[in-house]
Structure 1
Amino acid sequence: MSLSLDLTSPDARAALACPVAAEKPPLIGLTRPELAEALVAAGIVPEKQAKMRASQLWHWLYVRGVSDFSLMFNISKDLRTALDRHFSIARPEVVEEQNSTDGTRKWLFRFPPRGAGRPVEIETVYIPEEGRGTLCISSQVGCTLTCSFCHTGTQKLVRNLTAEEILAQLLSARDRLGDFPDRDTPAGAIVPTEGRKVSNIVMMGMGEPLYNFEAVKKALLIASDGDGLALSKRRITLSTSGVVPEIYRTGEEIGVMLAISLHATNDDLRDLLVPINKKFPLKDLIAACRAYPGLSNARRITFEYVMLKDVNDSLDDARALVALLKGIPAKINLIPFNPWPGTNYQCSDWETIERFADFINNAGYASPIRTPRGRDILAACGQLKSESERMRKVDRLALEAMMIAGHGEA
């Protein structure tokens, strides 16, 4: 039985979220030079102090994880008051939190309007595993790609997320998980990697990260900064459906691990499953993968392959996959299809998936079968979608019950 917490009541909102005031520009998501420039432009810090003050703020925002200027105790009260008057460091509103029976947690975050726009909602998922905890982060509200097996693809693109909004998912998750130092921790302390609940992040949530390249780049470089959130780039994975020009840029300008949402070994089928293939066909995509900087057996590209019954799961498909990726240091993640209300696809039989995996393994590629996580709260791969775009909750839960009964899942 999953647990869902509706956090939309006024009391819950006051206790658990502080929506960003639209009139105050955020400091989250700014680089150090941009932080210094913002402080000087606001007239609250002289230029000769700006670099030092920016470093102080950076520590409080990304090491200590504070979301209230009043908690920055080594900054004068007058300056804290001025910062609060001009800027925001508040978290997004937590509209809903769902806890799966397997420990997966999903949050529905609401961000305030940008310009003349409306508030938007996105989903973020935390997956605890032995020895690690992975946060799946969204980069867009909705998606333009319309991959036929993906629930998120049925929601039209509303807008790109800003660097602040991408980072806010990580900061908010760490808040909720108790993953920042408490107030009694010495001011210079940094949370050790081994003690983190969020040890890895994957850009695999809502949207295509490489269609929001600049904001994603900025957010990931801040997340991997050694004097802040300090996540190793080898613990950050960016997943793309195949935006070939930006794959080259990702390797050169961001340097994180790469994952490719592949799912087919020929253009005809991939055109159907992943329509972006019509613009960037397999030959171009594979060429970009071969050219990705730093590839080795220790730094492999992950190829994601959803297992669809009688669509792409034959041994002939497995042979074609091995041939397609020949010579690329790679891991092939086999993903049992996660059903969602209204889909026409079915998950491959387990015996078929295992036979497929055995063939890939025998060919020399690691091919783990991804354990479905958070299915009972629609948090599994390909199931994310803003609550505001879903059917009413009662109808959704009824359909989920029908779906579970039809597929024999517990």
Structure 2
Amino acid sequence: MSNTQGASVNLLSLDRSAMENYFLDMGEKSFRAQQLLQWVYQKKVIRFPDMTDLSKRLRQTLQQNTNLDLPEIVSQQRSTDGTFKWLLKLKDGNCIESVYIPESGRGTLCVSSQVGCGLNCTFCATARQGFNRNLDVDEIISQVWIANNVLEAIENKPENCFVRDVADQRRPVTNIVMMGMGEPLLNFDNVVSAMRLMMDDYSFGLSMRRVTLSTAGMIPAIDQLRQQCPVSLAVSLHAPDDALRDKLVPLNKKYPIGPLLDCCRRYVGENNRRRVTLEYVMLKGVNDSAEQARALAKIIRHVPAKVNLIPFNPFPQTQFQRSEAETIDRFRDMLLAENIFTVTRTTRGDDIDAACGQLAGDFVDRTSRSRRMQQQTVVFS
């Protein structure tokens, strides 16, 4: 979906501040950035000749020196539950996946931040694929642009209409979770710039509470995020003790549970007006016992957090199984009995491999380290 050939700067890679500076360097007024943002993100116009409130000379200059290129949609799948998944081809031939989950009154888009992931969490399909590179800002924000554009086109067809309950909702995507492929905080600068675009009034205009970043626990980067762009935070915990979490989330060896929970408290601050979401994938016979529920309640009792229990979603060659429904319910009820707000995430899109932990993409290359990790089996006792 390209509008020009050989251009050097993709304007989708610039947040408002960077775009204002770009126009100033051209000798233009900074308000041109606001105009262009509105054309691209609110009017969904990506052809410079159609941006009629820009001068003809400026449009020609932009056409010659910049682009608004988007990834190519390789495939689009729709689950029986209404979930959409897109496989998007990037400029270097790599492919990533994005997932849209429609719900009553809102629509959530799960956005990728890397081509693959290098953290090697043992229960995640993305980690099995290895790691290639970080996504650029334009490759992150394009996922939102494409989802809104495609879904609005579908919604305008009566035979494909899906009802939204919010009367003033302007777009299908009302919430964004940086929970797709990759560890967002290992691509800090690009992810923050993209999230600022998501929240910019001249772009998608989402509120800070409607943008959530999920991390495996990069403590220094979480502290930095709190200072620069304090969106809603989700932390992949998945275990009540360091010995088990070391196996499930190898990053725990560097940033263990105690310091990580302290970091969560810092992120929320003294007023505790918000809660951190602690994600906990339910693995049969691994982390789902009554004893482990009690241990989890004990360590998070004084953390301003809510727990999101995630039934494990299987993928090829995994050693794990999903906990039984009654086991998950018992685990949830034990946490609730300790006054810890806990919900069980409804599995969505698993029939098209779009559920949590199932995104894989298609990569041109992977690190040899990640290939070795694919061949290793961790023993849980």
TM-score category (smaller protein): 0.7 to 0.9
How far the C-alpha of 1:266 sits from its partner, in A, is 0.6
- The more displaced of 264-273 and 194-203 is 194-203
How far the C-alpha of 1:63 sits from its partner, in A, is 2.1
Deviations along 1:271-307, one digit per CA (max 9) or x if unpaired, are 0000000111111111101111447665111000000
Distance (Å, rounded) in 2 between the aligned partners of 1:155 and 1:225:
33
Corresponding residue SS for 1:107 = strand
One-letter identity of the residue aligned with 1:102: D
Judged with a 3 Å threshold, the aligned counterparts in structure 2 of structure 1 residues 263 and 23 are, in CA distance, closer, same or farther, namely same
Judged with a 3 Å threshold, the aligned counterparts in structure 2 of structure 1 residues 327 and 19 are, in CA distance, closer, same or farther, namely farther
Q: What TM-score does the superposition give when structure 2 sets the normalisation length?
A: 0.88
Partner in structure 1 of residue 113 of structure 2? 139
Partner in structure 2 of residue 9 of structure 1? none
Judged with a 3 Å threshold, the aligned counterparts in structure 2 of structure 1 residues 280 and 310 are, in CA distance, closer, same or farther, namely same
Q: Does 1:299 align with 2:274?
A: yes
For residues 333-352 of structure 1, what are the structure 2 equivalents within 5 Å? 333-352=308-327
Partner in structure 2 of residue 175 of structure 1? 149
Deviations along 1:78-124, one digit per CA (max 9) or x if unpaired, are 432321121111221111111111100000111113xxxxx221100
Partner in structure 2 of residue 397 of structure 1? none
Q: Which runs of 5+ in 1 are unaligned?
A: 1-16, 114-118, 183-190, 391-410
Partner in structure 1 of residue 98 of structure 2? 124
Corresponding residue SS for 2:334 = helix
For residues 287-366 of structure 1, what are the structure 2 equivalents within 5 Å? 287-294=262-269, 298-366=273-341
Deviations along 1:298-322, one digit per CA (max 9) or x if unpaired, are 5111000000001000111111111
Which among 68, 77, 82 is matched to residue 56 of structure 2? Answer: 77
User: How well do the aligned residues superpose, as a CA RMSD in angstroms?
Assistant: 2.2
Q: Which runs of 5+ in 2 are unaligned?
A: 157-165, 366-381
Which among 278, 286, 304 is matched to residue 253 of structure 2? Answer: 278
How far the C-alpha of 1:76 sits from its partner, in A, is 3.1
Partner in structure 2 of residue 61 of structure 1? 40
Distance (Å, rounded) in 2 between the aligned partners of 1:334 and 1:193:
31
How far the C-alpha of 1:360 sits from its partner, in A, is 1.0
Deviations along 1:228-263, one digit per CA (max 9) or x if unpaired, are 211000001100000010111111111100000000
Is the contact between residue 278 and residue 305 of structure 2 (CA under 8 Å) also seen in structure 1? yes
Judged with a 3 Å threshold, the aligned counterparts in structure 2 of structure 1 residues 294 and 196 are, in CA distance, closer, same or farther, namely farther
For residues 329-408 of structure 1, what are the structure 2 equivalents within 5 Å? 329-388=304-363
Distance (Å, rounded) in 2 between the aligned partners of 1:157 and 1:23:
28
Partner in structure 1 of residue 160 of structure 2? none
Structure with the greater relative contact order (CA < 8 A, sep ≥ 6): 1 or 2?
A: 2
Partner in structure 2 of residue 31 of structure 1? 15
How far the C-alpha of 1:227 sits from its partner, in A, is 2.8
Aligned residues: 355
Distance (Å, rounded) in 2 between the aligned partners of 1:357 and 1:218:
36
Which among 95, 107, 132 is matched to residue 74 of structure 2? Answer: 95
Partner in structure 2 of residue 212 of structure 1? 187
Judged with a 3 Å threshold, the aligned counterparts in structure 2 of structure 1 residues 350 and 19 are, in CA distance, closer, same or farther, namely farther
Is the contact between residue 70 and residue 139 of structure 2 (CA under 8 Å) also seen in structure 1? no
